[in-house]
């Protein structure tokens, strides 16, 4: 993998200081980084001399992975419970992983393989390259 994302970067982005999640974060990075890199067009992944491009790709991937980790934390039992007393709410963090994942997806969108033109849209569709197009006078041309 051309881009390296570490557990410490995910923890920094999620604002988590505990080492209790290192194993889970490392597993999540391993699980998600390959598919995320695969979805990015090879021309961008392989352009390692463009450090700004690589930083943008890394940030987008980091945001998506961190967002997924935050959502996993929110799905843990008791993580989303709240207590309200006298107008004060005590409960889960307002930090939402979905927002971070959307931000990362938006950042990566122009570089995805799906954003490139399809081969049928960019290639020649005629097998009669060397012949001239001949239209009769009674045919309509749109």
C-alpha 79 chain-centroid distance: 25
Burial of 65 (0-12, 13-18, 19+ CB in 10 A): buried
pLDDT at 17: 86
Distance in angstroms (rounded) separating the CA atoms of residues 132 and 21: 67
pLDDT at 126: 55
Distance in angstroms (rounded) separating the CA atoms of residues 45 and 2: 7
pLDDT at 120: 46
Q: Give Cα separations from 10 to 17, 24, 44, 132, 135 (angstroms).
A: 10, 11, 23, 59, 63
Q: Are 104 and 60 in contact (CB under 8 A)?
A: yes
Domain ranges of the chain: 7-122
Scanning the structure block, which residue is given the tokens 């194993």?
A: 23
pLDDT tops 80 at residue 49: yes
pLDDT band (50, 70, 90) for residue 2:
confident
What single DSSP character describes residue 11?
H
What pTM does this model have?
0.72
């Amino acid at each position: 993998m051309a881009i390296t994302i570490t557990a410490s970067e995910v923890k920094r982005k999620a604002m988590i200081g505990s080492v209790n999640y290192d194993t889970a974060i490392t597993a999540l990075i391993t699980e998600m980084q390959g598919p995320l890199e695969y979805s990015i067009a090879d021309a961008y992944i392989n352009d390692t001399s463009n450090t700004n491009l690589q930083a943008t790709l890394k940030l987008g991937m980091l945001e998506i992975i961190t967002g997924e980790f935050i959502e996993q934390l929110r799905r843990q039992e008791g993580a989303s419970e709240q207590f309200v007393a006298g107008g004060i709410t005590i409960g889960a963090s307002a930090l939402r992983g979905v927002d971070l994942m959307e931000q990362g997806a938006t950042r990566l969108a122009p570089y995805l393989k799906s954003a490139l033109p399809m081969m049928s849209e960019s290639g020649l569709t005629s097998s009669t390259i060397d012949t001239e197009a001949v239209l009769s006078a009674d045919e309509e041309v749109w």
